[in-house]
Structures are given as C-alpha cells and as structure tokens.
C-alpha cells in the first residue's frame, strides 16, 4: 500500500518513516530520555544495537571487548567518539560470552542471563516496586521507573570508576577503580565521601574492603575554628565544576581547571587503575586522532602519598613506583626480578632466583660468591624493614646484608642502615631520599651443594692433630720418621681400599654421592613412604648438613627397573639432571649408584602433590590455580628449551607436581625416563606415562617429541581449571562428563563454561577462564603438529599473545588424519 498526500509527496512520507524507525525499535524519546518498555531486550552479538540516548551521545548495551570476538561487557559508553569510552558497567566488570541477553522485566528491572538462560546479574539493590519502563538519558544515566515515573533504580547511584556531569555522590558513596586498562574487575583504589564529610582516596587490601590510610583528602570535615560545616555531597555539575557541597551550602572546589566549554566538550571524572583521580575533557566534534585531555588530577605525588604501613600502594610487591613527567605513576621491577603478569605493569614482581636461609644453607659457598649487588639511588621500600643499624657506613650496610640470609635489600641513608626482607612493598623513587639501595641478586644458575656425608666434626679433628703433633715433637728424629712413613702408608692403603670397594664417584656437578647405608640411615630404614609411582617409591629422610649439623628434610626415591650395564649412562644422565636449576623444578641434591641400588635424593617440599591440592574437599582459589598453571608451564619450557640438554618428561600429571611452602609448583621426576627401562609403564601398553595424560602418538608409532609433554600439560591445565580428575566416571553425573577433555570442548563450544566450572569465584574471572580453556584445548590436539610449543603456551597464559580459537581436539579417527588449516607453533 502506498500513501499519497494531497501534494503527492510520498517520498517525504517514506523518508519521515525512516527517521522515526530507530525510536520505534529502541523506544520512544521524550524530554527526559529514550523510554524502553518492559519486555525490551538486548543480546550479545555482532549485530546487536544498543539503547541510545535521544542525542545519541550515550549508548547502553553489549560492548565487544578489544581483540575478543566472543566476549562482551554490558555497559554504558560515549557513542560518538572513536574510542567509545566506557563510563559504567554491570556484572562487577565481568564480560559475558556471545549469546548472553539483557531483559527489561517488571520485577527485577534488568536481568542479565547467559546463553542457557542462567542468571548472571541483576541490580544489586532490590527494586522496591513494579517497573514500568527504563529510560536512557542524555546525561549518561539509565533509570528504572515505576508507574508514576518515580525512579526506583539508576546507574548514577551505582557508580563504577567514573562520574559524569549532573551526577552526585552522597555520604557513604564509593567509586572503585578497575584493575587495569582492559580488566574491568574491581581494583584496589577507592574514592569515598566519608560519614564525617571528608572526601578521600585510599587503597584496600583485596579481596577485603578494609581501608588503608587515605592518600588524598578534601579536608571537608566540620571545623568549628572557622565555622566550616561538614561535606554532605560530591557534586559534578552541568558546568563541569567538581566540588564538595557542605551542610551550609558552601562549596569546596576539588581543583580549579582552565575553563572549557561544556557545549564543545564531553567531561568525565575517573578514578583510574593507577590510583589517580582525574578530570578529562574530549572534543565533541572529534576526529580519529582526538583523545581525552586531563584537565587536572590528584594527588601530586602518588608514589609517596599512597604508601601504607601494611599492604600495597600504587605498585605490587617487589616493584618500584616512579613518577613520569605528567606526574602519573609507572611501575617497574628491579634488576633480577620480573613481573608475575607481563600485561599488568602495576602488579607484583618476583625474584628470578632462589633466595632465603633454606637456599643459602644448602651450600658452603661464601655469600660474596653467591650474590651480586645492584645499587639504586634514591629508591626505598619504606614498609619492609626488620632491622635498623645506626651509626653505620654504606660499606658495612652492604656487607651486613650480604651475610644475612634473610636480607634482600639494604637501604643506607644519613648514617643509618635498614635491612629489608621479601616481599618488599610500597617501593618508590624519590629524589629527596638521598639514599642508596643495595639489592642482592643471585649469580647465574646456581645449584646448592650438600657437603660430603657423613660430615666430619671439625673440633674433633683439631684435637686429633694436636695430639699427633705432641707425640711427634716428643719423639726422636728416627721415631718421627718411622711414624710419618707409617701414617702415609696407612692413608694410601685406606684410599686404595675405599676406591676399590665402593663404585661411587663425585660427578662433575654440585651433586653429592651417597652410599646406600647413608641413605638407609637417613630414612630410618626406608620407613616413611611419601608416595609410590611407576618409577619407584619415595621415602622421607633427614640429613645433617653443614659444619653446624643442620637437619634438612629430603625425599629419597628408590628407582625401579634401571637399565642394566649402564653405570656410565646413569651417571651421565644424572649429571644432566643435576645441572638443571629452575624455581619450578624439584631440586636434585644427590644420588646413590651402588651395585643394583640406584637412588636419587631430592629436596623435600612440605605441601604435598598438586593432586591432593586440587582434588581435596576445599578448592584452591582461582588466583592460586592461575599461578600454579603458569609455573608448571615455565618449568616445562625450561626443560624443553632452556637447559643444557633437552629433557622430555613423559609423565606430566598432578601426582608429579609438588608444591613448596608457598604453594609454588615444582615438577618432579623430570629426566627419569632416560634412566629407566623402555617397558617401564603405568598403563597397559608399552608406553611412557599415565592413563588419561598420554598423547596419541604413543599409540600410532609416531616420533616422540616434546609435544607429548604439551599434551599432558593440556590435560593437567583442564584439571587445574575444573578441580576434577581427567577421567572420573564414578564421581560425575552423566557419561558425557566422564572424560574431562571431551566434556571441556563440548562446554567451550556450547558457550557453557559456567557449567564446566560450577564455581562462582571463577566465573568472576571469565576472560582469563576462557583464555585458559582455549590454551588447554590447543595443547590436547591429537595432531602433535597443531599443539603449540611450551614457549607459546607460556606467552598465551601470561596474556602476551592472543589465543586463537581452537579446533576440535579429535578431528580424525585412528585411520584418517585431517589437519585443519589453522596452526600455532
């Protein structure tokens, strides 16, 4: 049907219909904003159109995250500027996957659900009343209104990291920073108008909300001396001014900026992820090169002012805060330390070497030969002291730290020396300090050496020498000559007998060679069993080391089925293993090669295996699992590419990952496959490894490469993510869930990672979760050519490179091999 006007201008009518079409789709516009009726919805997809404000300045909907094709953030953003800056977000900043929906309902107001209709988020405050509609206004506020247009809930009363013009915050209100530029989860910085009327910036010690001392305050509490009343409201008015409104209607401007036209610029006040509170302006008629310009920010020196007595300031542990020319902070790791998360520069730094009393006691090497010193000027970690020495000199300050196994850094200033231990907190560079920082850094790849066993008693030897000397001095020359000849003959005889009777030789490493009897005594007759496996049985023992006879717990493994007639091969392989040194490998301290007895002596780690950690009654936290997974990957990378001879583990599983006292993962049994007979196996086939962790090439007569470890790691990674065993038909409901690798791909492909996880805590980290699942799926590809190297795995887990979408891990049968086009190395 064609409508014809008296003038015959039907083109005008058609054009007018197109003009009003968007409003009929999104809602009707009135003077207050775009109105959405109950029943309106949005979906997380490429073609989803947001709810726009009447002017089109603001949009409410699903924003696709940068470089993430299937992740969306339910948010409000500036719609007309190139970078689409986000000013509010739901679901605690956690993105949702493709297919999620937002519905405007009469009872909850807004309801965010996943692809399977599982509830993900609704407004935190219960909405009292029946919702009639939603309104998206031109000031960036989204309201839920009742039948009388009364506001039942609004985003302006639920601020995240940004305040907008026309927005206010009353006493008790809080603004929280995000964690990083791309991570919208709640960070550790807060802006709050306290009940006493003071506006404060402060940090909290996550995951709690316990506040540290304020690093900025507006000083708007009541002051009777000058008749000032307390602040009642933080106001960001339509003219761009930001002030604390007092009870007597006085205004305390936070900071005066150069006047900028509200007609020509957008404004926002943001608590950035670096802790700075900044007012920004952006031209409305922007070009592709237009950016947000900071008008002012507080505080002036956040590195110094955000320092706290306990907890973190701007930067993570062991990091250093430095002010840039624009007075914004940046963080860096000192030499010998590296970031835990290479993407987050404001995170923690970790030492690249072992340090501590337990490490130093395992060697008799002087500290000056173990460590180098890195000197930094005007740098300090003011809240990590454990000793102050005064008066002192710089040379003595450096020396005393070298000799103290607890000391990581010594700070010298004005004749005073402060010794500090790890972790170091609130590090900063400050020209006013006039100080020197002496940082201990371990030299090279050093492996501690156990002194020979049994250890001689130094005092007893000295007494013997004195007695022999007295006899010699009291005798005639002839008698002395005869005695000396007899002593020399005796030493030669003992030396000859010793080397003929015991085939034990010191390897060209820092390892110690033990006799079987010594290890039998150390383990009390191999009494306490720590674990059993295909390679042998592990017993707990105690050795006394050092001149002071310090007792050190060790784990002694008795090997089974060692290759016959292979004494030289055994020693060569132990030599290779003994030269490895990495913080994610269990350290080999010594060995026994006596007759048919082959034993290895490892450091004892107190927290047991990863299996007991993952599959117990209490699940470890998501952050713990992230660090464990990355640590295992780094250890395998070292074995495959960074040690002197490539080592393929061949049996990566949670039972072979041991946790130290800090829950850092250490790979054990690495290199043992080279020491054992070819038919040694824990499965029903003549292969290496354990059922559920074995790569397909073992069954296909294909070459065995380091990619078999990559496959096993992928299975272990899924177990770490889900805290369940790879094969567990008895304890899960449904046959389809029995094999973890198959079920994980089904859940990933169906967008049901929440079903895979079944954990509220992990769902709060959905971006990291999805990335880790995708990495695991790449690792368990049946075609080894498609599996990434461990170096690539580490980079993907750390977020250094993007994780591509993985194909099905089992795309072919046992007789047909089809290689997908996508491949990562």
Contact 252, 218 (CB under 8 A): yes
Q: HSE (CB half, 13 Å, CA atoms) of 543?
A: 28
Q: Cα–Cα distance between 560 and 597 in angstroms, integer? A: 9
Structure tokens at 296: 């002012």
| Nearest partner of 303 among 409, 385, 186, 215, judged by Cα | 215
DSSP secondary structure letter of residue 824: -
DSSP 3-state of 145: strand
Structure tokens at 328: 């914004």
Helices of type H across 155-251: none
Q: Cα–Cα distance between 84 and 77 in angstroms, integer? A: 6
Q: Cα–Cα distance between 745 and 498 in angstroms, integer? A: 61
Pairing of strands 588-594, 512-513: parallel
Number of Cβ atoms within 10 Å of the Cβ of 480: 14
Q: Is the dihedral of CA 478, 484, 488, 493 positive or negative?
A: positive
651 catalytic residue (yes or no)? yes
Pairing of strands 101-104, 41-43: antiparallel
| Nearest partner of 394 among 424, 421, 414, judged by Cα | 414
DSSP 3-state of 103: strand
DSSP secondary structure letter of residue 642: I
Structure tokens at 492: 């030669």
| Nearest partner of 559 among 673, 679, 454, judged by Cα | 673
Sequence-separated (6 or more) residues with CB below 8 Å from residue 241: 235, 253
Asked, as a colleague might, if the bond just before 540 is cis with ω within 30 of 0, I would say: no
Pairing of strands 416-420, 71-78: unpaired
Q: Cα–Cα distance between 687 and 690 in angstroms, integer? A: 9
| Cα distances (angstroms) measured from residue 307 to each of 422, 430, 597, 637 | 17, 12, 58, 37
Contact 287, 213 (CB under 8 A): no
Phi, psi angle pair for 637, to nearest 5°: -55, -45
Q: Which residues pair with 385 in a beta bridge?
A: 420
Sequence-separated (6 or more) residues with CB below 8 Å from residue 264: 283, 284, 285
Q: HSE (CB half, 13 Å, CA atoms) of 255?
A: 16
The per-residue DSSP string of 707-741 comes to: HHHHHHHHHHHHHHHHTS-SB-SSSSSSGGGTBHH
Q: Which residues of 63-93 are buried (b: 16+ CB within 10 A; e: fewer)?
A: bbeeebebbbbbbbbbbebeeebbbbbbbeb
Ligand-binding site membership of 194 (annotated): no
Beta-strand runs (E) in 534-641:
536-545, 550-559, 588-594, 597-603
Q: Cα–Cα distance between 716 and 710 in angstroms, integer? A: 10
Of 198, 651, 709, 754, catalytic: 651
Q: Cα–Cα distance between 698 and 72 in angstroms, integer? A: 41
| Nearest partner of 615 among 466, 726, 525, 770, judged by Cα | 726
Structure tokens at 496: 């000859």
In SS3 terms, 638-699 reads as HHHHHCCCCCCCCCCCHHHEEECCCCCEEECCCCHHHCECCCCCCCCCCCCCCCCCCCHHHC
Asked, as a colleague might, if the bond just before 207 is cis with ω within 30 of 0, I would say: yes
Residues annotated within a binding site = 558
Catalytic residues: 651
Residues annotated within a binding site for ATP = 558
């Amino acid at each position: 049907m064609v409508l014809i006007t008296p003038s015959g201008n039907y083109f005008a009518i058609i054009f007018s219909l197109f003009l009003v079409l968007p409003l009929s789709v999104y809602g009707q516009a009135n003077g207050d904003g775009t109105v959405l009726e109950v029943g309106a919805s949005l979906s997380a997809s490429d073609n989803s159109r947001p709810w726009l404000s009447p002017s089109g300045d603001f949009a409410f909907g699903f924003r696709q995250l940068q470089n993430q094709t299937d992740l969306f953030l339910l948010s409000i953003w500036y719609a007309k500027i190139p970078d689409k800056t986000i000013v509010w977000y739901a679901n605690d900043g956690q993105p949702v996957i493709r297919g999620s929906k937002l519905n405007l309902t009469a009872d909850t107001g807004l309801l965010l659900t996943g692809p399977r209709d599982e509830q993900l988020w609704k407004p935190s405050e219960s909405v009292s009343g029946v919702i009639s509609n939603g309104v998206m206004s031109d000031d960036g506020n989204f309201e839920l209104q009742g039948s009388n247009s009364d506001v039942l809930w609004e985003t302006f009363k639920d601020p995240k990291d940004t305040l907008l013009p026309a927005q206010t915050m009353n006493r008790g209100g809080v603004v929280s920073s995000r964690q990083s530029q791309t991570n919208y989860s709640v960070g550790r910085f807060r802006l709050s108008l306290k009940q006493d009327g003071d506006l404060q910036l402060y940090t909290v010690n996550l995951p709690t909300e316990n506040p540290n001392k304020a690093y900025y305050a507006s000083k708007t509490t009541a002051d009777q001396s000058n008749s000032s009343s307390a602040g009642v409201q933080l106001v960001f008015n339509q003219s761009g001014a930001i002030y604390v409104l007092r009870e007597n209607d006085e205004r305390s401007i936070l900071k005066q900026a150069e006047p900028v036209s509200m007609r020509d610029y957008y404004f926002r006040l943001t608590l950035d992820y670096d802790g700075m509170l900044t007012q920004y302006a952006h031209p409305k008629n922007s070009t592709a090169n237009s950016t947000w310009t900071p008008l002012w920010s507080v505080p002036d020196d956040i590195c110094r002012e955000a320092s706290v007595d306990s907890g973190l300031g701007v930067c993570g542990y062991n990091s250093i805060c430095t002010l840039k020319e624009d007075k914004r902070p940046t963080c860096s790791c000192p030499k010998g330390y590296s970031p835990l998360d290479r993407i987050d520069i404001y995170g923690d730094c970790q030492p690249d070497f072992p340090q501590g009393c337990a490490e130093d006691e395992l060697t008799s090497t002087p500290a000056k030969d173990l460590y180098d010193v890195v000197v930094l000027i005007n740098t300090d970690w003011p809240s990590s002291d454990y000793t102050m020495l005064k008066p002192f000199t710089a040379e003595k300050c450096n020396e005393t730290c070298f000799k103290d196994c607890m000391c990581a850094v010594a700070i010298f200033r004005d004749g005073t020396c402060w010794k500090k231990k790890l972790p170091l907190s609130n590090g900063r560079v400050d020209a006013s300090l006039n100080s020197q920082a002496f940082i201990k850094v371990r030299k090279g790849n050093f492996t501690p050496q156990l002194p020979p066993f049994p250890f001689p008693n130094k005092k007893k030897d000295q007494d013997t020498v004195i007695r022999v000397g007295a006899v010699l001095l009291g005798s005639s020359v002839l008698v002395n000559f005869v005695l000396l000849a007899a002593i020399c003959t005796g030493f030669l005889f003992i030396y000859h007998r010793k080397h003929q009777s015991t085939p034990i030789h010191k390897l060209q490493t820092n390892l110690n060679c033990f006799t079987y009897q010594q290890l039998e005594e150390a383990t009390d007759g191999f009494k306490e069993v720590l674990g059993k496996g295909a390679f042998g049985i592990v017993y707990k023992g105690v050795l006394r080391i050092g001149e002071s006879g310090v007792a050190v717990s060790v784990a002694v493994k008795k090997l089974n089925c060692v290759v016959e007639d292979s004494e030289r091969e055994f020693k060569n392989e132990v030599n290779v293993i003994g030269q490895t040194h990495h913080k994610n490998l269990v350290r080999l301290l010594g060995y026994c090669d006596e007759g048919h007895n082959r034993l290895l002596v490892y450091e004892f780690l107190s927290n047991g295996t990863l299996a007991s950690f993952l599959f117990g009654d209490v699940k470890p936290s998501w952050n713990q699992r992230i660090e464990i997974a990355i640590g295992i990957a780094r250890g395998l990378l070292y074995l495959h590419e960074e040690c002197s001879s490539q080592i393929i583990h061949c049996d990566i599983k949670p039972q072979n990952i041991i946790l130290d006292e800090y829950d850092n993962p250490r790979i054990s049994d690495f290199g043992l496959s080279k020491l054992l007979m070819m038919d040694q196996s824990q499965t029903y086939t003549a292969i290496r490894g354990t059922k559920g962790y074995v790569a397909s090439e073992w069954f296909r007569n294909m070459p065995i490469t380091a990619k078999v470890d990559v496959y096993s790691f992928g299975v272990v990674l899924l177990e770490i993510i889900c805290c369940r065993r790879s094969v567990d038909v008895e304890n899960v409901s449904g046959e389809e869930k029995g094999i973890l690798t198959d079920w994980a791909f089904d859940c990933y492909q169906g967008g049901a990672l929440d079903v895979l996880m079944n954990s509220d805590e992990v769902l709060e980290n959905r971006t990291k979760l999805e990335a880790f699942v995708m990495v695991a799926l790449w690792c368990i590809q049946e075609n080894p050519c498609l599996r990434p190297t461990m170096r690539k795995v580490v980079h993907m887990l750390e977020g250094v490179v993007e994780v591509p979408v993985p194909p099905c891990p089992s795309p072919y049968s046992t007789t047909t091999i089809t290689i997908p086009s996508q491949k990562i190395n």
